[in-house]
Structure 1
Amino acid sequence: MINRKLIAAAATGLFGMMVAQSAFALSDNIKTLEHMGSTGASLDIETVPQDPDRAAAIRKTLQKVKLPSGFSIDLYAIVPDARHMAIGRNAGVVFAGTRKTKAWAVTDRDKDRVADEVKRFAPSVDLKVPNGMCFSRDGMLYLIEHNRVLVFPAAEFFYESPDVAIGVVTEQLVPESEESFNHGARTCTIGPDDKLYITIGQPYNVPPKDKMALYNKVGLAGIIRMNQDGTEREVYARGVRNSVGQAWDPKTDELWFTDNQVDGMGDDIPPGEVNHATEKGQNFGFPYFGGGHVRTEQYKDEEPPADVVFPQVETIAHAADLGMTFYDGKMFPEQYRGGIFSAQHGSWNRTTPVGARIMFTPIKDDGTAGEMRSFASGWLTEDTGEYLGRPVDVKQYLDGSLLVSDDTTGAIYRISYTGE
């Protein structure tokens, strides 16, 4: 495990000499990078051409996107397989994960709000499903893989090189027996308590009963938290089928998260969820409930926990609600401040496809959710059911605009407000 106090020493070259060795076997490159050594990786880092013809085609699609009056959307960058994002506070570098083997660093060098460079982040490190990205308040970039957590001190400085300062937080998020290609995209946030929060889906549509004791123990079908050095891991929330989005309300310091619900029950049930966690130890109902108040067939005869926390928002079934963010910027009108922007990736098995849009949920004065409504739509062609794009994550940029990732198009968009 790494020691939090030692991470800051990376910039002065002391990190590698002082960091404790992981209890698990590390790749040779990570061992080298932990000691601030050079791996010999090529300085010619893979970049993504911002091809004008490709950019023009994406912008043509964006002309179909419907937004409230005064808002506009444009292409920010071509980013293959772009999933969850983290935005640096110093230079505004956008780090984007994927569900494959690469992560990207996206840089707007001339500050015209269109990226000039997209290049591979940490190319000398082998990654597996590096979906989740989040920054600590002091500039540490956490990357959540399928079954490992890495930290990159001073990521906005070291990202220019193929070799980056690195630490291993944990080499095992879930038991090896529970590794699966299904529901393996993790997300992360740093809570007001400076702990690292990670969503961990479980590999089944509905898990068998003999798995639940293990899952409840390790945090599968839940949200875990730990210190930023990986110590004091604990289960924060249970009964969460497959959350792929979380955010903290800056007014209340409370966690909200999306949750994708059970398939195979029909087009219109069960609903998706936006949940509100107010304290450690709450149970959000899965697998007793498949979504909202809809019971699963497999657990219909089981007594659910008496204190199940039902969702604040029940969303349209199978729309696949993913990334989310609270808006506290100043660019958008007052009515959006303090509310939640979230991405609906779109259904994969619904007879009539739904989703592929950005939603907005206002938060009332009492801290509960108002009615969710569509904010940006048009990526789903109504007459053919074809997806022109599938939003994954939404994050507030430094200037108060919104960035939206799309893993189908392979792009990041920027939504801004001028009032014109």
Structure 2
Amino acid sequence: MQVSRTRSISVIGISLLLAVFAIAQNKAFHNAPASAAATKNPVAGDAAAIKAGKNIYSQNCAACHGPDGAGTGNVPSLKTGKAQEAKDGELFWFITNGDENNGMPSWKGLPQRQRWQVVRYIRAMKTAGAAAPASAAASTTTASLPKASGNGPFIDYRDEKPGTVRKITAKDLPPPYATKSAGNGPHVVPRPQNAWPQVLPDFKIDVFASNLNNPREIVTAPNGDIFVAETEPGNIKIFRGMTADGKPQQTSVFLSGLKEPFGIAFYPPGPNPEWIYIGNTNAVVRYHYTNGDLKARGEAQKLVDLPTGGHSTRNVRFSNDGKTMFIAVGSESNVDDPEENTGEKNRANILAANPDGSNVHVFAAGIRNPVGLAVNAQTGELWTSINERDALGDNLVPDYITHVQEGGFYGWPYYYIGGNQDPRHKGKHPELKNKVIVPDVLIQPHSASLGMTFYNGKQFPAEYQGDIFACEHGSWNKAVRVGYEVVRVPLHQTNHATGEYEDFVTGFVTPDGNVWGRPVGVTVAPDGSLLITDDGSNAIWRVSHK
């Protein structure tokens, strides 16, 4: 990989050479001491410990980390990445001590043997199967929930209704720790028989495809084929054509065996691409591609190596003129200082590079986890949707959707939403306070804003033209759930946001607080309908205008 420092974010005052990516791979797991790494698991050879650990995990850990350990929202995976690379003793040390700044509680209250059994189960997750989460927690039943907040500015899932317009401003933010930091991961259940996503009366929503495996990013190819990344199994699927009842006419596996793929982009921009680019969690690669290909041709060309662990999504987009490739790289942690945690070097950024992978540099910094990327076809501006930090309370910090200023600094980890200093970094970098950009649109805190797209179809009414649609995957760090919806950001045919957003597709949470759907990615189909991936029900939804 050819790396350059031709541009940098001078306000940070930290070297931005991408060569330091390798450093992160050698540090201890969450800075565990050497004595922890040397500690052996006393139940390492005990098969019964796997079952015991699985039961303990289901009661205490599955709500946030997911029943299969794949993570959820901002919670990292335990079945891949850093957790599996760590020593048993390091895992035990971290479970025991926790990390309040990163939203991980201490579990020293569990008997020592039980903590070791959980470590044993984490080691065996891939073969031991998923642990059932504790049955729908009583704390999330309707009877025990606090009163719904109405129209906000801060709300929860009970307030979400298609057509409701919301606006959060920097002046609305509460002080840090106004409420306790919650651990309330989604309790994902099969879709109940009477549950269905809700849309405005003039729209309808149907299942486009089902029985997928962890569908995440979704894009429309220049010829109209629909490409979907199944991240966990490592596949890219194609859905071609549409029947009269809104189903795909043909399905094909374009690629398999990838490393947690997410981003998909075609190059050069325009009707006749020659390459398809894939954002794996560890690298950007490309394959020769011609319109209509149902299988990848040739071997992958690796263009850019990327750091692994932490936030794993790596989105990829191109500027309208095709000269710049944008790459989203989220943070490794919740709020670690990059000057102290080498694993955070050159992360929490949007990178830019030449299409061949050369001249990699930071385009914008201080962006904790820029999952969604989209380029406005009219203005050429890059936009992003962001997962902000956790563990400051129910209503901090808002996620956001914004256009991205080249050379801009968006605050992470020292500040948020302008010059609001994160108390976990009190007194650090006062010179940055007045340089933090306030994003265009603030979304409900902890919503986990993921994929986004500009609406360029002809099916929806004219007032939707050029607007943004974005997926809110759903909270884990809020006492009462929020997110689990698709929102619309109206640009009012001006290409500029006013700070407002609108609930567009809701209903993925049952009245008693169980979750059955989690929107991830969104694209515009050739007929002008919206296609939305959902890794909760493993489906793709189609929203059409009546």
User: Which of the five TM-score ranges fits, normalised by the shorter chain?
Assistant: 0.7 to 0.9
For 2:234 and 2:304, the matched residues in 1 are separated by 18
In the TM superposition, what is the alpha-carbon distance from 1:389 to its structure 2 partner?
A: 0.3
| Corresponding residue number in structure 1 for 2:497 | 368
| Aligned 1:232-247 pairs, distance under 5 A | 232-247=359-374
For 2:540 and 2:487, the matched residues in 1 are separated by 17
| Corresponding residue number in structure 2 for 1:128 | 259
For 1:334 and 1:59, the matched residues in 2 are separated by 35
Say whether 1:407 aligns with 2:535. yes
| Aligned 1:292-303 pairs, distance under 5 A | 294-302=420-428, 303=430
For 1:73 and 1:95, the matched residues in 2 are separated by 20
- Mapped contact 2:520–2:533 kept (Cα < 8 A): yes
For 1:369 and 1:223, the matched residues in 2 are separated by 23
Aligned counterpart in structure 2 of residue 80 of structure 1, from 206, 210, 213? 213
In the TM superposition, what is the alpha-carbon distance from 1:370 to its structure 2 partner?
A: 4.3
User: Which stretch has the larger CA shift, 107-116 or 255-264?
Assistant: 107-116
TM-score (norm 2): 0.60
Aligned counterpart in structure 2 of residue 141 of structure 1, from 266, 276, 288? 276
1:148 is aligned with what amino acid? A
| Aligned 1:87-166 pairs, distance under 5 A | 87-90=220-223, 92-109=224-241, 111-112=243-244, 113-123=246-256, 126-136=257-267, 137=269, 138-139=272-273, 140-154=275-289, 156-160=291-295, 164-166=297-299
Aligned length: 349
Among all aligned residue pairs of Structure 1 and Structure 2, give the percentage whose two residues are the same amino acid: 30
> Please, which runs of 5 or more residues in structure 2 have no aligned partner?
3-189
Aligned counterpart in structure 2 of residue 267 of structure 1, from 373, 385, 394? 394
| Corresponding residue number in structure 2 for 1:345 | 473
Change (3 A) 1:149 1:385: same
1:122 is aligned with what amino acid? L
For 1:171 and 1:339, the matched residues in 2 are separated by 32
For 1:172 and 1:246, the matched residues in 2 are separated by 19
Per-residue CA deviations over 1:96-142 (Å, capped at 9, x if unaligned) read 1133232232323464431244443223xx31111111223242221
- Mapped contact 1:244–1:258 kept (Cα < 8 A): yes
| Aligned 1:40-55 pairs, distance under 5 A | none
Tell me the secondary structure at the aligned position of residue 244 of structure 1: strand
- The structure carrying a bigger helix percent of its residues is 2
For 1:403 and 1:170, the matched residues in 2 are separated by 30
1:154 is aligned with what amino acid? Y
Tell me the secondary structure at the aligned position of residue 335 of structure 1: helix
For 1:270 and 1:294, the matched residues in 2 are separated by 10
Please give the root-mean-square deviation of Cα atoms over the aligned residues, in Å.
2.4
| Corresponding residue number in structure 1 for 2:456 | 328
| Corresponding residue number in structure 2 for 1:50 | none
Change (3 A) 1:209 1:220: closer
In the TM superposition, what is the alpha-carbon distance from 1:359 to its structure 2 partner?
A: 0.2
For 1:276 and 1:353, the matched residues in 2 are separated by 27
- Mapped contact 2:327–2:352 kept (Cα < 8 A): yes
For 1:76 and 1:59, the matched residues in 2 are separated by 18
Change (3 A) 1:275 1:300: farther
- Mapped contact 2:415–2:433 kept (Cα < 8 A): no
- Mapped contact 1:59–1:74 kept (Cα < 8 A): no
1:108 is aligned with what amino acid? R
1:282 is aligned with what amino acid? G
In the TM superposition, what is the alpha-carbon distance from 1:270 to its structure 2 partner?
A: 1.2
Change (3 A) 1:155 1:146: farther
| Corresponding residue number in structure 2 for 1:199 | 328
For 2:403 and 2:417, the matched residues in 1 are separated by 14
Larger RCO, structure (CA 8 Å, separation 6 or more): 2
Per-residue CA deviations over 1:287-332 (Å, capped at 9, x if unaligned) read 1224565431222312125322111111111011111111121110
| Corresponding residue number in structure 2 for 1:253 | 380
In the TM superposition, what is the alpha-carbon distance from 1:255 to its structure 2 partner?
A: 1.1
> Please, which runs of 5 or more residues in structure 1 have no aligned partner?
3-56
| Corresponding residue number in structure 1 for 2:31 | none
For 1:254 and 1:120, the matched residues in 2 are separated by 32
For 1:145 and 1:290, the matched residues in 2 are separated by 29
TM-score (norm 1): 0.77
1:120 is aligned with what amino acid? V
Aligned counterpart in structure 2 of residue 281 of structure 1, from 389, 407, 413? 407
- Mapped contact 1:77–1:118 kept (Cα < 8 A): no
- Mapped contact 2:329–2:350 kept (Cα < 8 A): yes
1:299 is aligned with what amino acid? H
In the TM superposition, what is the alpha-carbon distance from 1:209 to its structure 2 partner?
A: 4.4
Change (3 A) 1:241 1:380: same
Tell me the secondary structure at the aligned position of residue 371 of structure 2: coil
1:269 is aligned with what amino acid? L
